[in-house]
Structure 1
Amino acid sequence: MQRPVGLELARRGHNVTVITAHREHDHAPTYHQVMVGNATLWDVLGRKRPNLFTMAEYTAEDFHREALWKGGLALTEGSLKAPAVQALLAEKRSFDLVISEVFFQEATYALAHKYNAPLVLISTMVNCAKHNLITGNPLQLATTSFEFLDVSKPTSFWGRLRNLYLNVYDYFWWRFWFLPKQEELVKKYIPDLPQPVPSLYELQKNASLLLLNTHFSFQSPVAFLPNIVEIGGLHLSESDSQLPDVSITSYQLSKSISI
């Protein structure tokens, strides 16, 4: 989903460096790739991917505890310690802007501090309460659901109570356990940071822009401040190709059906 951002910036003449696991072969000459291993969430967790029916039985708490938090830390560490990334961080480089994924890899926000550049966040998912809080956007808990809400009737009393609980649960574990773990990765893998180093929470609060993979045409009604922009569908590219010619045959039932 994020591929078009870097590719289009390079096409428009910007000098773009991308840390990625997905190599591009057709790109502008100003598009530079720093490659990391293409590991899946289950690879870094050292587990076989559960089948769909097993995952459907996970509660939201189980999914955070067993997949998102552990996997987020492992994937972030795997990217930061990749030889190509360490070589990049050791160079004397400057950047005018840092664009970082917002989904459970917050250690990369420290690159904005390292290069004294504005920070733009981009999410492959919807917005969530914790990011609303730090971007100053209204919470709107009465009308928007937690992104991993595991109830069949979210507008029922139980659904609304569960929604409130999960938002509080997610925020406090993320704020006071997960972010400190991400900050340990910053200290371990990102060298030559100007002192003092702000917390990842403060860096995120100072982000200039948050881009969301959503679109108002298929999301629940939600209010966004100007610093939050929906870019859902950005990964869909225009094409001049034509649909193939197909012949359509009409069939007529040979037997009458009585109702």
Structure 2
Amino acid sequence: MWITRTQTVLLCLLMILASYSHANNSTVLKSEKRLKILAIFAHLGKSHFDVFQPLLVELARRGHDLTVISHFPRTEKAIAEEPLPTYKDISLLDEKLGILVNVVDLNLINAFSILPIPIRDLYMLYSMAGVTCEICLKNPEVKRLVDSGEKFDLLLVESFNTNCYMALVHKFNAPFIQISTHQLMPWAIDDLGLSNEASYIPTMFSRLPRPMNFFQRMRNVMTIFISTMVSRTVYHWQAQSIANKYYGPGLPDLASVTNNASFMFVNTHYSVHGAISFPPNVIEVGGIHISPKVKPLPANIKKFLDEGHEGVLYFNLGSMVKTATMPKDKLNVLIKVFASIPRKVIWKWEVNEMPELSSNVLVQKWLPQYDILNACCSNYLLGWPRSPHPSGLPHTALLKMSEIGTTSDRRSVRNSQLRNPRYSENAKKLSKAYRDRPSTPLETAVWWTEYLGRGNGLPYVKSEAANMPWYQRNLIDVMLALALLALLSIYVSFRALKYILTRLKKKQEERNGGMSSKKRD
């Protein structure tokens, strides 16, 4: 299977790991307290919101009052299927702007490829942050909610590319949980009072494998330093400026508000992303978006997959990338590669015009990815390490690290790459470790959310390092003091030794002078 986009790679990987019955997991008891929860998810990316939505829906099912600020209000169809009267939307959707679905032009990505990857990624995130902050903070319904003085028991906020929504957190003055849909950003790690373990954990922006050699570790350190400094300056100035524009003056430093998060839910799991030391308030909920329910496939797709006796190659660049913008020369190479593979190929293609394809290829504008992957997800993955998203390559690197798949470029796909028995064995081992948990990811997230709502959380679970200056947290002041003490000790010792040697020399000279006088007499 050839997976070529961050969300697609990770979803298929997690589906391999999450192919287990939820019936075997213990059910979390419902909270006795009915909570009022405000969820602020203002990013335009549907793939991001799809990670959070199961948690929001489950909390509403359990009777909690949800007010959700997002670009993705529940559809009429979803409401008809499950009304959820305690789930209220405040829609940020702008019909002219739309959402980030099929919007990334691959020609534009190629044009920016001359820039160093971290710079390109940081610029993209900065641009998106400015747009989303303006849309959310100036929204009339959001402002009315703030002005109403309504109280909430807790807030849920995405941890991504801006702190501007901390203005709302400050206004509502309630405990809050941050949620990351991916490996933590370097600045989020810093906000939590953790150390960026640059010696063995590649940052998202470095695009490095694990383990790293000396030069890769050096590059990782520099990437972490640059990205964190950009966040602390350029990103922070932008967020503070927009927040002050709509909710100032009098707003505190937004970075200081971020440091007071009660919990951080992270869409990772140590069996996939590697062992990382987290404090008690960082909860791994990798796979929270994977539903135990699988819908029947459309008839044409089911028939096509059933005829794929040699296996199926599923090709999808994700929800944001418009595959039809692929340069013609690269598209022709892909078509030839697909024609040469002795298996079925199913491909997401967003426009009506399509070059002539071989009979083994099926294209559709939109695919029910989750249901397809449940039907045909195999024991191997092949990643294409060319993504416009900061986390694109790290996920393909995970394939190699876990040895459940490999990466390839457009010209080198071989059928032998899709039939390596080692991948199947390693996938089974990894699946066993991944699914062996005391509760499902969704149950875990719900329990900790209600735990905070019951009045727990700060200061019991938060690391004191989160509010310490960086130089104190990294013991720079202590090391400088010890270095100065060592230098002072050396200086004092040097002066004392010099004094002693001078005195000894003087006495020796006096003795030598006395002996010379006696000889003359």
Q: Deviations over 1:82-124 (max 9, x none)?
A: 3332332332311111111110131112222211101211111
Q: Secondary structure at 1:178's aligned position in 2?
A: helix
Give RMSD over aligned pairs.
Answer: 3.0
Answer whether contact 1:154 1:163 (CA < 8 A) is retained. no
Q: Deviations over 1:42-71 (max 9, x none)?
A: 99xxx9734464565552333244311122
Q: 1:241 to 1:66 in 2, by over 3 A?
A: closer
Is 1:123 the counterpart of 2:180? The answer is yes
| 1:118-197 equivalences in 2 (<5 Å) | 118-151=175-208, 155-190=212-247, 197=251
1:30 maps to: 86
Answer whether contact 1:121 1:211 (CA < 8 A) is retained. yes
Q: Count matched residues.
A: 244
2:62 maps to: 12
Q: 1:224 to 1:48 in 2, by over 3 A?
A: closer
User: Which residue, out of 153, 160, 165, partners 1:108?
Assistant: 165
| 1:223-234 equivalences in 2 (<5 Å) | 223-234=277-288
Q: 1:158 to 1:22 in 2, by over 3 A?
A: same
Answer whether contact 1:34 1:85 (CA < 8 A) is retained. yes
Answer whether contact 2:202 2:208 (CA < 8 A) is retained. no
Distance in 2, Cα, partners of 1:94 & 1:120 = 16
Q: Secondary structure at 1:106's aligned position in 2?
A: coil
Q: 1:90 to 1:151 in 2, by over 3 A?
A: same
2:513 maps to: none
Aligned letter for 2:230? W
1:222 maps to: 276
Structure 1 residue 133 displacement after superposition: 2.0
Q: Taking every aligned residue pair, what percent have the same amino acid on both sides?
A: 27
Answer whether contact 1:17 1:33 (CA < 8 A) is retained. yes
Which structure shows the higher helix fraction? 2
Distance in 2, Cα, partners of 1:232 & 1:200 = 28
1:198 maps to: 252
* TM-score relative to the length of structure 1: 0.82
Answer whether contact 2:122 2:227 (CA < 8 A) is retained. no
Is 1:2 the counterpart of 2:56? The answer is no
Answer whether contact 1:73 1:104 (CA < 8 A) is retained. no
Answer whether contact 2:203 2:224 (CA < 8 A) is retained. yes
Answer whether contact 1:35 1:85 (CA < 8 A) is retained. no
Aligned letter for 2:184? N
Structure number with higher relative contact order (C-alpha < 8 Å, ≥ 6 residues apart): 2
Structure 1 residue 40 displacement after superposition: 4.3
Structure 1 stretch displaced more, 49-58 or 65-74: 49-58
2:119 maps to: 62
Q: Deviations over 1:134-175 (max 9, x none)?
A: 212232211111102145787122211111001010111111
Is 1:88 the counterpart of 2:145? The answer is yes
Distance in 1, Cα, partners of 2:171 & 2:309 = 64
Answer whether contact 2:200 2:210 (CA < 8 A) is retained. no
Distance in 1, Cα, partners of 2:168 & 2:64 = 19
Structure 1 residue 37 displacement after superposition: 2.2
Answer whether contact 2:121 2:205 (CA < 8 A) is retained. no
Q: Secondary structure at 1:143's aligned position in 2?
A: coil
Structure 1 residue 79 displacement after superposition: 2.0
Q: Secondary structure at 1:98's aligned position in 2?
A: strand
Structure 1 residue 242 displacement after superposition: 7.7
* TM-score relative to the length of structure 2: 0.43
User: Which residue, out of 98, 101, 105, partners 1:49?
Assistant: 105
Q: 1:153 to 1:96 in 2, by over 3 A?
A: closer
Aligned letter for 2:141? A
Distance in 2, Cα, partners of 1:130 & 1:149 = 14
**Structure 1 unpaired stretches of 5+:** 251-259
1:210 maps to: 264
Distance in 1, Cα, partners of 2:62 & 2:162 = 28
Greater Rg over alpha carbons, structure: 2
Distance in 2, Cα, partners of 1:65 & 1:247 = 44
1:75 maps to: 132
Q: Secondary structure at 2:271's aligned position in 1?
A: coil
Q: Secondary structure at 1:217's aligned position in 2?
A: helix
Distance in 1, Cα, partners of 2:146 & 2:90 = 11
